[in-house]
Each structure stands twice: as C-alpha cells, then as structure tokens.
C-alpha cells in the first residue's frame, strides 16, 4: 500500500468516526427537542399565559405567575450582572492586563464558572435569606447575578484582548484619551463578541433551578414584589413535574417548552448577530 | 564616529542624547542618540531589524508610554520644548505629531466617522465644517474618488491600500505638524505602495515626515534625508542621494550594498 493510499484510508476512517459522533450528539438533542415539542405544544393554551397557579384537579391553572417571576428574576440579575461583568472584564483587559490582581481575578472567575450553582444558592441563602428571615426575589436575582458574572467577565476580557493592540495604538496616536479609546474604538471592535457573552450568560442563568430553590423559592400565585418569595419557570416546572396530578404535570411540560424556546431563541439571536457582523 | 549632516534649514525635531531601554531589559535599545529632523522634508530611517529605528519613531509621539516600565532619558525638542518631560500633555502632543502604522488601522466604524474621529475629538461639532474637512482630508489622501459614494459604509470593507490611505486621511485631517510612518507599505502590494509613496511625497509641503522602512529603494525614492541606524546608534545621517551614492561610513556602505542586514 502506498503512502497516499494509507493517508486516504486514515482520512476516511477519521471522517466517518467524527461524523458519527456528531450525529449521535445531534440525535440526542433532536430527541430531547422532539419530546419537548410533542408534550409541550400539547400542553400549551391561552390559559397558560393568562392564569396563575390553581389547585390541582380543576384544569384552570396557568403559568402567568411563573413567566412574570422568571422575567423579573432574570431581568434584575441581568440589569446588575451585565454592566458589572462588562466593566470588570474591561478592567482586566484594558487596565490590569498582566497584573497579579487581574490574574487572580481571572483564576477565581474560572473557578466560579465551574462552581455548582447549588453552592451559590446556599451561599446567597446564608448571606441574604437567613439574615432577612425570608425567601425573596432579590435573593434569587443575586444568586443568578453571581452565576452570570464570571461568564460575562471572562468573555468580555477575552473578546477585548482579541482587539489588535495596533487599533488601540492608532486611537491613542490621534490624541484620544484612554476612556474614549476603550468606549469608542475597542468596544466597537469587540461588540459582537461581548454581546454573545452577554446572551450566553443570560441564557445560562435562565435555566437555573437549584440556586432559586434556596433563594426566591416559589409562589403559586402572581407576585411582583421582589422582597417576597417569587415563582420561576424552573422551580414551578420542578414542582409540577414531580407532583402526582396530571394537570400539573402538563403545566410542567408547558413550562419546560416555553423555557427551552426562550433559551433557544436567545442563543440563535446571539449567533445570528455574530454572523451578520461577520458578513458585513 | 557617526557622520551627521548639518541641517541648516529649520528643524522640526531635535533628538539630543536620547537613550531608551525597554521594560525588563538591561541593554538600551537606543544609545545616546543625537539627530536633527528637517522641517517640511522627509527623513527616512533605515537599518537592520532591531537597530532601534521603530523604537526611535515611537518615541516622537511617546507611544512607549502606553506600556509600563519603559525607561528613557535625554531630550527630544519639538516647538522649543522637551517633549520627554513628565508634564508633557500627551493628548495634545499626539494631535501635533500623527502616526501611520505598518498595518492599516481603520476603526470599526464608517469611512466618514474614521476621518471625522480626530476632528470630533478636537471638538469640531459643526456638520458642514466636519463634512468639508473630511472631504478635504480624503482628497488630500487621494481616496476621495473611491470613497465618496460610500462614506457611510464600514471602513473595513476597503482594500488594504485604501485603508492605509484612509488612515493617512484620518491623520492629516487634524492638521498635524509632523507625521510618523512606521513601515507604511510593508503590508501592501506594489501598486498600492506606489500610491502611498506618491502621497507621502506630496504631503511634505505641509508636514514634516519621518518614515521607517525596511525597503532601501523606498527610502531612496521618497526621502530627502536618510538616517542609517545600527545597534541603537545613528551611524550616518546624510542627504538621501549622498547616503546611497557616496556613503561616508563603512558600515553604511556595507549595509546598502547588502553585505549584512
């Protein structure tokens, strides 16, 4: 067998194996999605969006409380977590760069990123819930913000460092003050990357259940007071899906479906935005 | 000993006993260098890699200050003051001494906004004035014809040569007195290179130009004076023709005839 033939064979084996692996991965994803769609769409109805929780058995319950609670929890977490993460990432890349402090911050956020979210839930329970004596929306948002922070911080840091230093130098060479170099030139260069980091961070916390069990807990009715326990899609889904009542289980499927679609849309939007920027 | 021509005309910059050491290094990259730069003419800096020519060029607009722990001493006199002092206003200095880099550095914004950037920094808000000055800069940089119908388009859609001319337009829009070119054509094809060279020659009426180049033919084509640097020292500064035809220093001759480099 010639060397070329060997190479051709090796190539086709590797290609077959990697294609197979990709298909298996995609297969599971499609399986999950199809079951979600079958059960979720079946459970969907207008009542879900219009009604709050109801006792089992009377088929009149909805998920309005959980939807609004979810949006509020994630919304407040993002409102504080996104600017904080971007600013911290900016510090790392533009001011600290190689300093001991920034290397330490990088290491700690890498560890935080892989920390089990339930640990963060327990932490917020200890510092917010226990002293205040009650579960609250704020505690939930704080937990989500802590989980979101390292993701946004590190992607911002990475994306800013990808901006070529010559671009910064060119801006400085025109007599631009540093803060304008960062906000007007460097941010623009890294815009798509930072936005993707933000979307991924938001999508990540939107699917969290464990930290919310310790913090915002749950509420079967609509509550928009952040200082009170608050419903979320994830915790509601957990409660309903594990309940023995068929109509609650159906609502659980609907919650799973809505949540997945929300996260999927967020991811697809993020990627579309990236593509559009690249195509320009 | 170095041979440094007496420049009788007015000088844009005077380097005196300038010494520069990069962070983390013990050996100075530039050693006690003294060099006059003539006003309204083009001075080329040539020499092998690592000779300190780019380091010297980036000292004129204090680019080294962007990175910590670089050390320098001596004087660079510009407009009757030493610009190496601590209280030098770097923002103002950099509007008076502009720079063009090796790779085109179009900002991620529209063509118009790129050229208007420096003007806006200086507080030009009037729309007509902005438009007039952007158009004039683009014309002076010989890119108006190609750019005028797509001023609102992303500048990164331009070719490399066009982007480099855009960067020149951006630099001259703020009307600097000195322009520093750091190997401005080494990333460009021959036709774009010829265009940029023509442009540089045309600019010397208005600005004093210092250009670092690896390309000796380019130095010979565009410059009035050429300085040959070696191991952090200025070996020879002569009118360009003299340096290339009758070099005074043995090292210069060996370098331009290709015996080392």
pLDDT tens digits, residue range B94-107? 999 999 999 999 99
Mean pLDDT of B238-259: 92
- HSE, side-chain direction, 13 A CA sphere, residue B62: 25
Q: What is the mean pLDDT of residues B164-188?
A: 94
At residue A278 the predicted structure's pLDDT band, cuts being 50, 70 and 90, is: low
User: In this predicted model, what pLDDT tens digit does every residue of A51-97 receive, in sequence order?
Assistant: 888 888 877 888 999 999 999 999 999 999 999 999 999 999 999 87
Q: What pLDDT does A276 receive?
A: 66
> Which CATH architecture group holds A64-279?
Orthogonal Bundle (1.10)
**For range B130-141, the mean pLDDT:** 94
Query: How many residues does the structure list for chain A?
Result: 280
Residue numbers in A near B55 (CB within 8 A): none
Mean pLDDT of chain A: 91
Name the closest residue on chain A to residue B116, using Cα atoms.
Answer: A174
For residues A256 and A206, give the distance between their C-alpha atoms in angstroms, rounded to a whole number: 12
Rounded to whole angstroms, the Cα distance separating B49 from B54 reads: 9
Burial of A207 (0-12, 13-18, 19+ CB in 10 A): middle
Which pLDDT does position A274 carry in this prediction?
67
> Which range (A151-155, A172-176, B256-260) has the least confidence?
B256-260
Nearest to A175 among B92, B101, B156 (CB): B92
pLDDT band at A277 (very low <50, low <70, confident <90, very high): low
For A90-114, write each residue's pLDDT tens digit: 999 999 878 899 999 999 999 999 9
Distance (Å) of CA A193 to CA A271, B25, B109:
10, 36, 16
Partners of B37 in beta bridges: B13
The rounded distance, in Å, linking the Cα atoms of A128 and A139 is 6
Q: How far is B220 from chain A (nearest CA, A)?
A: 27
In this prediction, residue A220 carries a pLDDT of 87
Q: Given an 8 Å threshold on Cβ–Cβ distance, is A174 in contact with B118?
A: yes
Mean model confidence pLDDT for chain B: 93
A280 pLDDT more than 60: no
Distance, CA of B239 to CA of A31 (rounded, Å):
77
Q: Which residues of B touch A172 (CB under 8 A)?
A: 63, 66, 94
The DSSP annotation for A35-100 comes to HHHHHHHHH--HHHHH-----TTSS---SHHHHHHHHHHHHHHHHHHHHHHHHHHHIIIIIITTSH
Q: Is the CB of A170 less than 8 angstroms away from the CB of B99? A: yes
Instruction: Supply the pLDDT for residue A37.
Output: 92
Please say if the pLDDT value at position A30 is more than 70: yes
CA distance B23 to chain A (A): 14
Average pLDDT (B45-73) is 93
Q: Which residues pair with A104 in a beta bridge?
A: none
pLDDT digits (tens, 9 = 90+) for A142-172: 999 999 999 999 999 999 999 999 999 999 9
Q: Under an 8 A CB cutoff, do B107 and A173 touch?
A: no
Distance CA A228, CA A275 (A): 41
Closest residue on chain A to B103 (Cα): A166
Could you tell me the two tokens for B115? 């050229």
How large is the average pLDDT for residues A238-264?
Answer: 91
What is the model's pLDDT at position A34?
94
* Percent over 70 (pLDDT), chain B: 99
Q: Is pLDDT of A23 > 80?
A: yes
pLDDT tens digits along B61-83? 999 999 888 999 999 999 999 99
- Would you list the domain boundaries of chain A? 3-43, 64-279
Proportion of chain B above pLDDT 90, given as a percent: 89
Q: How far apart are CA A166 and CA A261, in angstroms?
A: 41
Q: What is the pTM of this model?
A: 0.84
Is A279's pLDDT higher than 60? no
Mean pLDDT comparison of A163-172, A261-270, B186-195, B252-261, highest-scoring range: A163-172
* A97-136 CB burial, b ≥16 within 10 A, e <16: eeeeebeebbeebeebeeeebeebbbbbbeebbeeeeebb
Put simply, the answer to whether A167 touches B105 (Cβ < 8 Å) is: yes
- Work out the minimum CA distance from A67 to partner chain B, whole angstroms: 39
In the prediction, which pLDDT does B47 show?
94
Given an 8 Å threshold on Cβ–Cβ distance, is A170 in contact with B105? yes
Instruction: Label residue A36 by pLDDT band (50, 70, 90).
Output: very high
Smallest CA–CA separation between A177 and chain B, in Å? 7
Q: Mean of the pLDDT values across residues B242-261?
A: 90
Would you say how long chain B is, in residues? Answer: 261
CA atoms of A181 and A167, how far apart (whole Å): 9
**Chain B positions with Cβ closer than 8 Å to A:** 61, 63, 66, 90-95, 98-99, 101-103, 105, 107-109, 117-118, 121-122, 154, 156-157, 167, 170-171, 174
How far does A188 lie from chain B, in Å, by closest CA?
A: 6
C-alpha distance from B157 to closest chain A C-alpha (Å): 8
Cβ neighbours of B94 in A, within 8 Å: 172-175
Token pair for B190 = 């021959």
Mean of pLDDT values over B118-136: 94
pLDDT at B261: 66
Rounded to whole angstroms, how far apart are CA atoms B18 and B57?
Answer: 12
Residues in chain B within 8 Å Cβ distance of A177 = 91
Question: What confidence score (pLDDT) does residue A45 get?
Answer: 87
ipTM (interface pTM): 0.92
Tokens matching residue A258: 């809505």
**Mean pLDDT value across residues A242-254:** 91
* Opening angle at CA B165, ends B124 and A276, nearest 5: 85
Q: Which residue has the higher pLDDT, A196 or B154?
A: B154
Which of B94, B156, B157 lies nearest to residue A174, judging by beta carbons?
B94
CB contacts, 8 Å: A176 with chain B: 91, 117, 121
Tell me which of A159, A171, A173 to substitute to probe the interface with B (most B C-beta atoms closer than 10 Å): A173
Q: What is the mean pLDDT of residues A187-214?
A: 90
């Amino acid at each position: 067998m010639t060397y070329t033939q060997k190479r051709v064979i090796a190539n086709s084996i590797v290609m077959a194996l990697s294609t197979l692996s990709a298909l298996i991965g995609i297969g599971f994803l499609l399986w999950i999605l199809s079951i979600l769609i079958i059960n979720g769409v079946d459970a969907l109805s207008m009542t879900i969006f219009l009604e709050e929780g109801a006792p089992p058995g009377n088929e009149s319950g909805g998920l309005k409380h959980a939807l609004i609670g979810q949006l509020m929890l994630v919304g407040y977490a993002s409102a504080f977590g996104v600017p904080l993460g971007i600013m911290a990432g900016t510090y790392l890349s533009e001011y600290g760069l190689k300093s001991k402090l920034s290397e330490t911050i990088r290491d700690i956020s890498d560890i935080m990123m892989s920390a089990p979210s339930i640990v963060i839930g327990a932490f917020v329970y200890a510092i917010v819930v226990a002293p205040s004596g009650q579960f609250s929306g704020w505690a939930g948002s704080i937990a989500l913000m802590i989980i979101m922070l390292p993701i946004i911080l590190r992607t911002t840091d990475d994306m800013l460092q990808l901006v070529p230093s010559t671009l910064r130098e060119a801006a400085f060479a025109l007599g631009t003050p540093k803060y304008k170099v960062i906000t007007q030139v460097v941010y623009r260069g890294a815009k798509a990357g930072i936005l993707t980091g933000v979307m991924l961070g938001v999508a990540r916390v939107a699917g969290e259940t464990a930290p919310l069990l310790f913090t915002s807990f749950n509420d079967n009715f609509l509550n928009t007071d952040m200082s009170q326990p608050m419903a979320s899609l994830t915790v509601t889904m957990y409660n309903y899906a594990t309940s023995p009542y068929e109509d609650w289980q159906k609502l659980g499927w609907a919650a799973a479906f809505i949540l997945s679609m929300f996260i999927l849309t967020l991811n697809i939007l993020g990627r579309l935005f990236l593509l559009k920027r690249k195509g320009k | 000993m170095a041979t440094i021509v007496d420049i009788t005309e007015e000088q844009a910059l005077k380097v005196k006993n300038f010494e520069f050491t990069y962070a983390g290094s013990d050996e100075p990259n530039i050693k006690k260098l003294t060099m006059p730069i003539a006003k309204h003419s083009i001075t080329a800096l040539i020499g092998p890699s690592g000779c300190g020519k780019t380091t010297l060029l980036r000292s004129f607009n204090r680019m080294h200050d962007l990175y910590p722990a670089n050390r320098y001493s001596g004087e660079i006199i510009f407009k009757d003051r030493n610009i190496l002092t601590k209280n030098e206003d770097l923002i103002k200095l950099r509007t008076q001494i502009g720079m063009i880099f090796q790779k085109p550095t179009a900002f991620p914004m529209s063509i118009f906004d790129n050229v208007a950037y420096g003007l806006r920094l200086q507080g030009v808000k009037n729309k007509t004035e902005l438009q007039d000055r952007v158009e004039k800069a683009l014309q002076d940089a010989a890119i108006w014809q190609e750019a005028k119908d797509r001023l609102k388009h992303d500048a990164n859609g331009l070719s490399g040569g066009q982007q480099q001319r855009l960067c020149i337009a951006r630099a001259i829009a703020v009307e600097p007195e000195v322009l520093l070119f750091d190997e401005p054509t080494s990333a460009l094809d021959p036709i774009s290179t010829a265009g940029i060279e023509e442009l540089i020659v045309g600019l010397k009426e208005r600005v004093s130009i210092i250009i670092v180049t690896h390309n000796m033919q380019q130095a010979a084509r565009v410059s009035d004076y050429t300085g040959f640097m070696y191991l952090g020292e200025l070996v020879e500064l002569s009118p360009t023709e003299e340096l290339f035809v009758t070099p005074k220093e043995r090292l210069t001759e060996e370098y331009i005839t290709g015996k080392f480099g």
